Structure 1
């Protein structure tokens, strides 16, 4: 189980690093800027989570594999876009949705391993899932997705809750991880495809 969680964590790191690299390209950053934005997106949420839970040094300082994954992803992204003369922008929301789902459940699983309450497990899952994207959007001078009406953080919350429910129903640990990840991913993809959103808080119309 731990090996699979580690694999998902590295995969999520690569996916979020890709979203950061593509966002950096969209804003015409230099290679160093691409690496910084990719790194912040990939490990930002987990770093905030570890700091809040007192798990220090944070995970990527203990295991340099995460930095190597980010660096490799950036290099491959730069090489691909230069060779093909076009960036696959359509992959950005899909990759972001996948990273959101992966990191949400990874964060929830790590909080569960520390024996935190179910509310705390959900909160840590959401912070892990959306934290990197929030930092990425701020550095790109954009309003973070969780502050918009898009169904983004909601899919992360639902995924973390489903993870807790699956464990309470005595699902196998791996089954709980897969079900929760799939649920968060599908909800986010549905929101993207059908442009689903939450009602906006608009005082002008109140």
Structure 2
């Protein structure tokens, strides 16, 4: 149940993210749908390839594909003034997708008895893979490589799950809120990872 809820929440959040960025880049309707679907399902696809889950499992989510198609259609039909709110709320949608998919990726790796290193990779790439593909296709610098802390929160979430600290719905909910909050704080307070000094 937790896995399904996180899958739906993360997929919808990233679908909205991809569709709005496509409209900002002045893509036509086909481009909006392509970028929305790639963002929504890209992270799960990368995760399945890495930890050995059959890739065709992605295509068994028929109802979710319909939901994503509907969400992208709504975004495409929204008037431009409404889309301007993306600058304020876009980071929140992306943070929700990051947290949902990071936890889901880690849980998927744990379910197949993957080692801790695989759990960390699954959490990181499931959480940030869709957004990374979105930014590359949109011609933007991937958010995972920007100065604000992004993928680290997904990795730490995977670490908590891999070590068995997170084991039930309540602790999973707390972890979800923590990842979203930390991601928003890293943007709000401009938290950054160290960079190589260029003298």
TM-score, normalized by the shorter chain, greater than 0.5: yes
Question: In 1, are the aligned partners of 2:15 and 2:71 still within 8 Å (CA)?
Answer: yes
Unpaired segments ≥5 residues, structure 2: none
1:121 corresponds to:
119
1:199 counterpart = 2:194: yes
The two structures, once aligned, show a CA RMSD in angstroms of 1.6
User: 1:175 Cα deviation (Å)?
Assistant: 2.7
Give the alignment of 1:136-147 within 5 angstroms.
Answer: 136-147=134-145
Of 42, 45, 70, the residue aligned with 1:44 is 42
What stretches of structure 1 move > 3 A for 4+ residues in a row?
A: none
1:178 corresponds to:
173
1:9 counterpart = 2:10: no
Give the TM-score normalised by structure 2: 0.92
Give the distance between the partners of 2:167 and 2:161, measured in 1 at CA: 11
Aligned length: 197
* Higher RCO (C-alpha 8 Å, min separation 6): 2
Of 148, 151, 154, the residue aligned with 2:152 is 154
User: 1:69 Cα deviation (Å)?
Assistant: 2.0
1:104 corresponds to:
102
Give the distance between the partners of 1:142 and 1:126, measured in 2 at CA: 20
SS of the counterpart of 2:82? coil
Give the TM-score normalised by structure 1: 0.89
